[in-house]
Amino acid sequence: MSMILVVSGTGTEIGKTVVTAAVAAAARDRRVAVLKPAQTGLVPGEPGDAAEVARLAGSHVTAVELARFPEPLAPATAARRAGLAPVRPFEVAEAARKLATEHDLVLVEGAGGLLVRFDDEGSTLADAARLLSAPVLVVAPAGLGTLNATALTAEALRSRGLDCRGVVIGSMPAEPDLASRCNIEDLPVVAGAPLLGAVPAGAGALPGADFAAGAARWLAPELGGSWAPGGH
């Protein structure tokens, strides 16, 4: 049976793409599709987040991008400034469902945080997740400030009747400071959902084969790996 998992974050530049790639790599015995509804900040021809996931995770991954806007802004703003049609939640849901007919796992990677606007009507990734009845994996930073942002994201999910599958730290320092160490215990408490992994800082710069080989060590068994909080 195919599964659709939405990957969101507590903000931007916190490791959503590398976490998405790690989940895809850990599912190497399955047919995986990665759907990026709105890619911003890139011109045509530049490799986007979906392509980066495929590079890191392996050849079993199909990369799909619905729309691209050149300026590094929220999708709604970037679409409006470019004079292009925005991405609508129903389009995201339709694309994900179509991919699910041909793949075992579909990963839908958002842009920025959960409530970043897709269009001027205020539609967000959360609306697409609701249309899909899909669980949401939250990517969070390791350090100071992450608890509040994670709690707010989890609260937003609950208020919309969405399932927070868990939290993954998107960039865990090799030598974590006090806040990062304490957050290993505190993140699942504030999220009301399990901590399901910690991807090492710099993992996205690894060659694809090395990244794919290490991915299972960074994720908990629920995501196809062997990671445990005490073993970070």
Distance (Å) of CA 14 to CA 31, 131, 171: 26, 26, 7
Q: Is 220 one of the annotated binding-site residues?
A: no
Task: Give the Cα separation of 38 and 67 in Å (integer).
Answer: 5
Q: Is 109 one of the annotated binding-site residues?
A: yes
Q: Is 111 one of the annotated binding-site residues?
A: yes
Residue bearing tokens 């959360």: 126
Over the range 184-210, which residues count as b (16 or more CB within 10 Å of their CB) and which as e?
beebbebbebbbbbbbbbebbebebee
Q: Is 112 one of the annotated binding-site residues?
A: yes
- Residues designated catalytic: 36
Q: Is 143 one of the annotated binding-site residues?
A: no
CB 103 within 8 A of CB 31: yes
Q: Is 40 one of the annotated binding-site residues?
A: yes
Residue from 119, 96, 121, 123 nearest 108 by CA: 96
Q: Is 226 one of the annotated binding-site residues?
A: no
Task: Give the Cα separation of 139 and 162 in Å (integer).
Answer: 16
Q: Is 16 one of the annotated binding-site residues?
A: yes
Q: Is 17 one of the annotated binding-site residues?
A: yes
What residues are designated binding site for substrate? 40
What residues are designated binding site for ATP? 13-18, 49, 109-112, 170-171
What residues are designated binding site? 13-18, 40, 49, 109-112, 170-171
What residues are designated binding site for Mg(2+)? 17, 49, 109
